[in-house]
Amino acid sequence: MAIANPKISVVMPVYNASRYLRDAIGSILKQTFTDFEFVIVNDGSTDDTDAILRSYDDARLRIISLERNEGVAAARDRALNATSGKYIAVLDADDMALPERLAIQIAWLDEHPDVGVLGSGVRMMDADGALTGRVYSFSAGHDEILSNILHAKGLGITHSSVMMRRDVTLRAGGYNARLPITEDISLWLCCSAVSQLHVIADVLCLYRRHDENISGVAGATRQQNGILSRICYYLRQAGLPDPSTGPDEEWEAFRNTVISEIEKSGLERVNAARDQLAAKVFNKSGSRKYAKLAATLLLNPRLAIGLRYKSRWRRLIDELVAQSID
């Protein structure tokens, strides 16, 4: 029997994570705050995940089983859309939440209604669950987090530590399956337009590093989708259509154009251009103007087609940046 009107919905996508799954589930079921439902999406696992999930007899668990693997971003969005709680807490199937996590985060969010996405500090553990001694713990407000995300700095929001307001997350469009591996970055940027982002220093999550981490594999795809997520943010800031939410053909054309330009011009140069533009959007007045500059530079297919040589790429950047300065 499902829990009626839970205060928190905990969401977890699972794909072939049977080695770590009991630790993750157990860490949620042992929370000191108990008014929650636990939505787990089995994303077409082929290991013992299904048997492990069926072994639990707890009314708070809601299991959604997919016949085929749809990918973690799609699984996250399925879980999100199945929730009913006021708050959404995220935990990946290889991580663990410390016992006070839900209680601390919900109390903090209740006291700060302007914040829609709240992350926390995390302690690192290895594949066997042994603590490595590394801790990422810092406190940061909206402006600092947004700047870090736009500049691709390391101090952002750890996904498994996040609690979000459900209404904010849905208004932001939820997880974008077109941006796998960076669906979290895309969501934070979308949420930043409708609410505040924040990280508290309290260490509330154990984050597991191992060879199969999604965040540690597919490096090129992660870099490319990170750039795409940030470009789409600039487009939205400029009041222009977001291709990541448009028709399939338009998205594919846009994505292929940007990736082709990254490959031609080099990731380092594209990152440098992005950082230069991000600094202007963030630090100068008239952010819509600079967002349009970013959109013009990296999102106009006809312009991108002409960016065939590094010298031309560099010259266009210089010209556009110069034109943007009053």
CATH number at residue 100: 3.90.550.10
Distances in whole angstroms, Cα of residue 23 to Cα of each of 3, 104, 215? 22, 21, 20
- Which of 216, 232, 256 is the endpoint of a domain? 216
Verify that 34 and 79 share a domain, yes or no.
Answer: yes
Query: CA-to-CA distance for 123 and 215, rounded, in angstroms?
Result: 16
* CA 248 from centroid of its chain's CA atoms: 21
pLDDT score for 303: 43
Phi, psi of 90 (to 5 degrees): -105, 140
Which of the residues in the chain have pLDDT under 70? Answer: 1-2, 154-155, 211-219, 238, 261, 264-326
The amino acid present at 24, given as its one-letter code, is A
Written as one string, the DSSP assignment of 131-161 is EEEEEE---B-HHHHHHHHHTT-S-S--GGG
Close Cβ partners of 151 (under 8 Å, ≥ 6 residues apart): 275, 278, 279
Domain that holds residue 53: 8-216
Verify that 240 and 209 share a domain, yes or no.
Answer: no
Structural domain includes residue 28 = yes
Dig out the tokens for 261 from the structure. 């330009």
How many CA atoms lie less than 13 Å away from 208 in the CB half-sphere? 22
pLDDT score for 299: 45
Verify that 191 and 238 share a domain, yes or no.
Answer: no
pLDDT score for 87: 98
Q: Angle, to 10 degrees, between the axis of helix 248-265 and the axis of helix 310-324?
A: 110
Q: Which pTM was predicted?
A: 0.82
Q: What is the CA radius of gyration of the chain?
A: 20
- Which of 181, 200, 216 is the endpoint of a domain? 216
81-135 confidence digits (pLDDT tens): 999 999 999 999 999 999 999 999 999 999 999 999 999 999 999 999 899 999 9
